[in-house]
Amino acid sequence: PLCARCTGIYMGALTGFALMRLLGRRRAANLPPVPITIVYLGFIVLLGIDGINSYLTFFPGMPHLYEPQNWLRLTTGTLEGLALSAFVLPVLNYTLWRDADQSSSSVQSFKELALMVAAGGVIIVLIVLEPPILLYPLAILSTLGVLIMLGSINTMIVLALTRREGTAHTWRQALPAITIGLALAFIIIGGIDTARYYLTQALGLPF
């Protein structure tokens, strides 16, 4: 249901969230150490470069570095998704939980970073190969990644606006803010779909 780049972003983010939970970072509230953060920022820059290069090819005659490829869009998207998960999780934990672990980073070592990149590589290979048995599961998971990312960011915004940061101790206490954040995610997606429908159907634009 998503383009190659967005599939990579949200599958990468979902993979990052899952691995950080398996590594015991359930309520980690610190960003990765500076050297690892720099690597993650490099991943984001790579996506920016690839995105700008792809955009330039929309205009005949515009110079660009290389011909865009879906596997490359998928790869840079996945790397950015891994980076976003490492940044969003600790901020969400700090905003949501009363007992957020401020002594723990979301990703603590280059070994863990390598593990995440390796897992992202597996995801990239599976998507590129497009095995029929996995197409529906991958589509569902990538959509779940969209909801988790948007829901997490919206939850942080809701908590900040209502001045309820760092007050939840249990999932039951956190549920109202999470529910509102997830509902806002559906509203945002619905709004984008409605706008796209209007632009393509009513105005006859070719996208």
Q: Kindly report, residue by residue over 141-174, the tens digit of the pLDDT.
A: 999 999 999 999 999 999 999 999 999 999 999 9
Q: What is the pLDDT of residues 116-133, one digit of tens each?
A: 999 999 999 999 999 999
Which value, to the nearest 10 degrees, does the dihedral of the CA atoms of residues 154, 160, 161, 162 take?
110
How high is the pLDDT of residue 45? 97
